[in-house]
Amino acid sequence: MASDNENPIRIGLLGIGTVGSETARLLIEDCEELSARVGRAIELVGVACRNPDDVDFPWLDHGLLTTDTEALCRRADIVVELFGGLEPARTMVTLAMESGASVVTANKALLATYGPELYRTAAAHGVDLYFEAAVGGAIPIVHPLRESLAGDRVEWMLGIVNGTTNYILDQMTTEGLDFDVALKQAQEQGYAEADPTGDIEGEDAANKAAIMATLAFHTNVVLRDVTAEGITSITAEDIEAATAEHKVIKLLAVMENDESGVSARVYPALIDERHPLASVHGSFNAIFIHARAAGDLMFYGRGAGGAPTASAVVGDVVTEARHIAQGCTGPSIPMYLDLPKAPLDAAKAAFAVRFVIHDKPGVLAAIAREFSDHGISINGVNQDLTPTRHDPGYSGELQQLRLVTHQCDEQTLRTTVKAVQGLDFVTGTPSVLRVLA
């Protein structure tokens, strides 16, 4: 009888979609080389899918396909979960770990919702849970947070972590497209799903923010702890106004750990065109980390796509296969802190607010008085913006007025903007964007 060290390490793959098919291809076509890197043979022993008859890839033996996901989870040494969503992914991942298998996943929604629970399950059963591909696609960001910076204190992180929204905003900026046109183009290019809600409303980035905050701050942060704003309200006028001030708009994930507590937020923000994030184009991602000893670090690369994401998945498979070959496990994910969540009004920022106004004498003074009465200091004013549409019942030309504040809390800012909206010479819905310092 062969010893365990002579038997191949069995890999079960759950899901054969865009990422799953590329993962299967890499595991099959590069099997010999990957086995050499592991120091022991690896073998893809099954691929769970809903409709095997619909699967047709030249590199995949149809005999590997199965609808019995539970049986595959029980007989594999490593289960690669690429179903996505919460169920049956949660049930299958838990079953795999309870059966003694380690798990590799790219499922950001699963980890952002049930991550702490799954980390504890992995530790309790002496197996590993790896998920490099869940944040940033091919960018190696999870490993640095989990291991490379384990001896440091991460104080804050920010970055572009959603390729779909970055592509849309980039097209609006560089090509002058309206939001709807840029979104349609993103869908045609394969950067956006048929239902893009999770991306454009900020939920995808919020999932990733929860995962990164948990790893970096060693405390339980889940999706419900993250506040998220999307980009659906960004207009061509917002882009034009930003360009006039030598700025660009990016959807950012911002995670902080300071005296007010831990916070994780997603929102569109204005950044200076000279900032490194301004040069992140298309579907690329970039993440900044500031650690107390290491200082500033930046990670950049493709944040989406079948092949780049599969690269990160297979990298985790090789890592875990090495652990199995050597009879050990990797480091656990310690959540030894119970840090408070920072209240929303604890976060202060500078804001750019764009109003559409009737062009009459005294308008600027009246608006400035509202800001002053609410205790918000104005840092700059821009009236040199393209006039906008006509307002029914008003014979004059509508103008755009853009104010940039000094730092203030969001709740006060929103109250002030609402008060200004009540003035009879202000029309439409104001645009409110944070300004990255």
Q: Does any domain span residue 336?
A: no
Work out the average pLDDT over 59-84: 96
To the nearest whole number, what is the mean pLDDT of the chain?
Answer: 93
Q: How confident is the model over 315-347, as pLDDT tens digits?
A: 999 999 999 999 999 999 989 999 999 987 778
Considering the domain architecture, whether residues 280 and 212 belong to the same structural domain is answered as: yes
Q: How confident is the model over 378-422, as pLDDT tens digits?
A: 999 987 666 666 666 566 678 889 999 999 998 899 999 999 999
- Which ranges constitute the DSSP H helices of 162-223? 163-174, 179-188, 197-200, 203-217
Q: Does any domain span residue 332?
A: no
Q: pTM here? A: 0.92
Domain carrying residue 221: 142-302
Considering the domain architecture, whether residues 113 and 156 belong to the same structural domain is answered as: no
What CATH number did the domain enclosing 390 receive?
3.30.70.260
Considering the domain architecture, whether residues 81 and 210 belong to the same structural domain is answered as: no
Which of 395, 360, 364, 406 is CA-nearest to residue 382? Answer: 364
Considering the domain architecture, whether residues 208 and 127 belong to the same structural domain is answered as: no
Q: What is the pLDDT of residue 348?
A: 87
What CATH number did the domain enclosing 111 receive?
3.40.50.720
Q: How confident is the model over 179-233, as pLDDT tens digits?
A: 999 999 988 888 888 899 999 999 999 999 999 999 999 999 999 999 999 999 9
Which of 425, 428, 372 is CA-nearest to residue 403? Answer: 372
Considering the domain architecture, whether residues 130 and 191 belong to the same structural domain is answered as: no
Helical packing angle, 108-124 and 89-98, nearest 10° = 20
Q: Does any domain span residue 4?
A: no
Q: Does any domain span residue 257?
A: yes
Which of 79, 76, 6, 90 is CA-nearest to residue 41? Answer: 6
17 is in an annotated binding site: yes
Which of 273, 209, 248 is CA-nearest to residue 352? Answer: 248
- Asked whether 324 and 100 are in contact (CB, 8 A), the reply is no
| pLDDT confidence bin for 1, thresholds 50/70/90 | very low
| Number of domains, the chain | 3
Q: Does any domain span residue 331?
A: no
Q: Does any domain span residue 400?
A: yes
What CATH number did the domain enclosing 240 receive?
3.30.360.10
Q: What is the pLDDT of residue 393?
A: 59
Work out the average pLDDT over 107-127: 96
What distances in angstroms separate CA 274 from CA 137, 171, 227, 239, 379, one per listed residue?
25, 18, 27, 16, 20
Considering the domain architecture, whether residues 314 and 275 belong to the same structural domain is answered as: no
21 is in an annotated binding site: yes
Q: Does any domain span residue 226?
A: yes
20 is in an annotated binding site: yes
Considering the domain architecture, whether residues 159 and 296 belong to the same structural domain is answered as: yes
Considering the domain architecture, whether residues 292 and 316 belong to the same structural domain is answered as: no
330 is in an annotated binding site: no
Alpha-carbon distance of 133 to 194, in angstroms, equals: 22
15 is in an annotated binding site: yes
Considering the domain architecture, whether residues 295 and 359 belong to the same structural domain is answered as: no
Q: How confident is the model over 23-71, as pLDDT tens digits?
A: 999 999 999 999 999 999 999 999 999 999 999 999 899 999 999 999 9
Q: Does any domain span residue 335?
A: no
Work out the average pLDDT over 4-8: 80
Q: Which residues are catalytic?
A: 208
14 is in an annotated binding site: yes
315 is in an annotated binding site: no
303 is in an annotated binding site: no
Considering the domain architecture, whether residues 276 and 378 belong to the same structural domain is answered as: no
Q: What is the pLDDT of residue 85?
A: 94
Considering the domain architecture, whether residues 286 and 149 belong to the same structural domain is answered as: yes
Which of 182, 158, 427, 161 is CA-nearest to residue 289? Answer: 158
Considering the domain architecture, whether residues 217 and 260 belong to the same structural domain is answered as: yes
422 is in an annotated binding site: no
Q: How confident is the model over 221-269, as pLDDT tens digits?
A: 999 999 999 999 999 889 988 998 899 999 999 999 999 899 999 999 9
